[in-house]
């Protein structure tokens, strides 16, 4: 797995081929969190067989994403959409198969996760941007932009915990979307925040897409999916049922769910 | 916001070990900053704890009992093992919560996972370095003199970093699955405090125990630290066994960590 590789736009373009390549990926989870667990299970490695209290959240999933593609992931709740996104973000690891991500990722998943309650907004921006790979100098250059986008200029020295939940999400989105990574992963984070800000986020995503970024988008909103995505992945019971243009995927999804 | 800025070529991001160090440092300085920005006494807390402990032992062993362990001045003898112990104890007991406390952050970034343990070793190690002036002050007022073996201090620090990281890498992932381990570790640490030559010297042990005490890697480690003030404390047999044990523990730690990482990420 090439988890540490991040490349510039030029080299990414020079190296022809997919930026994301998922081959026969599978991941299993335990059904019951309180189930018994033994040392033997823990050290048994990848190849052990499935235990009765486990299930495959995803299995035999294969696809490749070319640079600049905008992919929408469709499926009912609990069919593996978010898990797939986490696999691509490499915050969980596959039990079977491989997931190769050959460019840097800006993950809009649990975006407020990196922020520390006791530190000021300013410190938090440097911290989170740094954890995602930005150097201090880069943050210096972008700092004004980040704050302006989050509309949070008056609270620079306020401890993060005193911000309203709307401000927290705005700040987090602003930082992550400013990472300038070639791949953008968007989970349904944008369901929060007021309508005005959501529209601003969408405009920002559109801008990033126009700039040649690859988008991986999970949503229940047909309108949003049609707006950004050209290609769709339809997941059902942990399998990739259909990989086709977004209109076709949405039609199939609508037919299956009876809308 | 201009779209020209967005079209700008993407910059090369630090990769590999440079990125690892960059993030390690970022998290460590965050730890220190949080600690010092949320308490009025800040730095004082990190030396107050060992000072109070040292004060108690000094009182008990020099004023109450007629002590026949350790060396003169006793307070310097005590602190030269107690301060490194605070580092070991702090990092290992914090590592029981390494993943649980930062669960949200672990779930949202793909930074190399050993950082969650190593940053604890580093930040407690830095606190240890900050506390060295305390022992220097006591040495000056107590009339202790440095020996040439002070040159071994960097070796002692490296050895302790290896040992502490090794233990932390074993403890941190296992606690995620076996929560009882958190309390077991605390209990073991308390036992280890008295089982290690901190308030006494390894030479004070009964003859029969000396050999077995060597397999506590802290024995050799503290012997190395104490050699800076007390030449007779240096025991190469202890140091050798300690070094071997530390490297072994680190190897085991890395293996355990690699084996359990996948399951840890699912569990938190």
What is this structure's pTM?
A: 0.85
Which residues on adjacent β-strands are paired with residue A186?
A108, A217
Least confident of A39-43, A158-162, B139-143: A39-43
Does the structure show a pLDDT above 80 at A44?
A: no
Helix or strand holding residue B192 (H, E) = helix B180-195
Nearest-angstrom CA–CA distance, A42 and B175? 12
Q: Domain residues for A74?
A: 9-104+218-257
To the nearest whole percent, how much of chain B has pLDDT over 70? Answer: 94
What distances in angstroms separate CA A145 from CA A140, A153, B5, B177, one per listed residue? 10, 10, 10, 43
Whether A223 maps to a domain, the answer reads yes
Collapse the DSSP code of A234 into the 3-class scheme (helix H, G, I; strand E, B; otherwise coil) and give the result: strand
Q: B110 and A91: CB-CB below 8 Å? A: yes
**Domain containing residue A226: CATH number:** 3.40.50.300
CA A75 from chain center: how many Å? 16
Does the structure show a pLDDT above 60 at A56?
A: yes
Helix or strand holding residue A183 (H, E) = strand A183-186
pLDDT at A37: 63
* Contact call for residues B238 and B160 (beta carbons, < 8 A): no
pLDDT at A60: 92
Q: Which of A9, A37, A93 sits opposite B177 (nearest CB)?
A: A37
Does the structure show a pLDDT above 50 at B154?
A: yes
Question: Across residues A50-79, what is the average pLDDT?
Answer: 88
Which residues on adjacent β-strands are paired with residue A244?
A232
Nearest-angstrom CA–CA distance, A190 and A217? 11
Tens of pLDDT, residue by residue over B60-93, are: 888 888 777 778 888 899 999 999 999 999 999 9
ipTM: 0.79
pLDDT at A193: 64
Question: Across residues A21-44, what is the average pLDDT?
Answer: 75
Residue A76: CB atoms within 10 Å: 13
Tens of pLDDT, residue by residue over A91-104, are: 999 999 999 998 88
CB of B28 within 8 Å of a chain A CB? The answer is: no
Does the structure show a pLDDT above 80 at A4?
A: no
Tens of pLDDT, residue by residue over B228-245, are: 999 999 999 999 999 999
To the nearest whole number, what is the mean pLDDT of chain A? 83
DSSP annotation of A120: B
Whether A226 maps to a domain, the answer reads yes
Nearest-angstrom CA–CA distance, B247 and B241? 10
Whether A31 maps to a domain, the answer reads yes
Q: Which residues of B touch A111 (CB under 8 A)?
A: 108
Task: Please give the residue that has the higher pLDDT: either A194 or B189.
Answer: B189
Q: B15 and A4: CB-CB below 8 Å? A: yes
Tens of pLDDT, residue by residue over B172-213, are: 999 998 888 999 999 999 999 999 999 899 888 888 888 888
Does the structure show a pLDDT above 60 at B124?
A: yes
Q: Domains in chain A: how many in total? A: 1
| Nearest one of A124, A39, A31 to A78, comparing CA atoms | A31
Please identify which residue in the block is written with the tokens 């800006």: A106
CB of B66 within 8 Å of a chain A CB? The answer is: no
To the nearest whole number, what is the mean pLDDT of chain B? 87
- Which of A12, A42, A99 to mutate to test binding with chain B, by most B CBs within 10 Å of its CB? A42
Show me where the domains of chain B are located.
38-267
Whether A239 maps to a domain, the answer reads yes
| Confidence band of B5 (pLDDT split at 50, 70, 90) | very low
Whether A206 maps to a domain, the answer reads no
A20-30, strands of its sheet edge to edge: A54-65, A20-30, A96-101
Q: Which residues of B touch A95 (CB under 8 A)?
A: 262
Q: B3 and A4: CB-CB below 8 Å? A: no
Does the structure show a pLDDT above 80 at B141?
A: yes
């Amino acid at each position: 797995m090439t988890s540490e590789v991040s490349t510039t736009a030029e080299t990414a373009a020079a190296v022809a081929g997919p930026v994301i390549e998922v081959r026969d990926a599978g991941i299993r989870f335990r059904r019951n969190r309180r189930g018994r667990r033994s040392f033997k299970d823990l050290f048994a490695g990848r190849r052990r067989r499935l235990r009765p209290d486990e299930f495959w959240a995803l299995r035999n999933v294969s696809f490749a994403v070319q640079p600049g593609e905008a992919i929408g992931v469709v499926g009912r709740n609990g069919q593996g959409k978010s898990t797939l996104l986490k696999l691509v973000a490499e915050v969980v690891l596959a039990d079977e198969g491989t997931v190769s991500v050959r460019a840097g990722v800006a993950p809009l998943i649990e975006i407020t996760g990196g922020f520390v309650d006791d530190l000021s907004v300013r410190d938090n921006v440097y911290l989170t941007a740094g954890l995602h790979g930005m150097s201090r100098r880069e943050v210096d250059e972008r700092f004004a932009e980040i704050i302006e986008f989050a509309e949070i200029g008056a609270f620079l020295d306020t401890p993060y915990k005193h911000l309203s939940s709307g401000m927290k999400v705005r700040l987090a989105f602003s930082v992550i979307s400013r990472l300038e990574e070639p791949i953008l992963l968007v989970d349904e984070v944008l369901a929060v925040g007021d309508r005005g800000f959501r529209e601003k986020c969408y405009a920002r995503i559109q801008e990033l897409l126009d700039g040649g970024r690859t988008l991986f988008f999970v949503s229940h909103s047909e309108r949003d999916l049609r707006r950004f995505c050209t290609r769709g992945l339809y997941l059902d019971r942990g399998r990739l049922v259909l990989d086709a243009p977004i209109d076709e995927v949405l039609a199939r999804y609508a037919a299956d769910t009876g809308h | 916001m201009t779209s020209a800025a967005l079209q700008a070529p993407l910059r090369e991001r630090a990769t590999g070990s440079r990125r690892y160090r960059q993030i390690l440092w970022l998290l460590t300085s965050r730890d220190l900053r949080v600690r010092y920005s949320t308490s009025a006494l800040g730095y004082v807390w990190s030396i107050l704890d060992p000072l109070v402990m040292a004060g108690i032992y000094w009182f008990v062993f020099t004023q109450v009992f007629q002590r026949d362990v350790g060396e003169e001045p006793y307070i310097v003898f005590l602190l030269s093992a107690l301060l490194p112990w605070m580092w070991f104890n702090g990092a290992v007991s914090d590592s029981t919560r390494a993943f649980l406390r930062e669960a949200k952050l672990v779930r949202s970034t793909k930074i190399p996972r050993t950082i969650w343990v190593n940053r604890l070793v580093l930040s407690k190690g830095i606190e240890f370095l900050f506390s060295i002036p305390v022992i220097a002050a006591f040495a000056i007022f107590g009339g202790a003199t440095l020996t040439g073996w002070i040159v071994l201090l960097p070796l002692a620090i490296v050895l302790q970093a290896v040992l502490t990281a090794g233990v932390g890498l074993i403890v941190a992932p296992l606690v995620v699955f076996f929560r009882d381990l958190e309390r077991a570790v605390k209990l073991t640490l308390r036992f280890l405090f008295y089982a290690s030559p901190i308030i006494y010297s390894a030479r004070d042990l009964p003859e029969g125990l000396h050999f077995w005490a060597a397999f506590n890697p802290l024995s050799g480690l503290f012997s190395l630290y104490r050699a800076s003030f007390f030449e007779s404390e240096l025991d190469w047999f202890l140091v050798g066994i300690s070094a071997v044990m530390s490297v072994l523990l680190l190897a085991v730690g890395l293996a355990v960590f690699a084996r359990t990482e996948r399951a840890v990420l699912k569990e938190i």
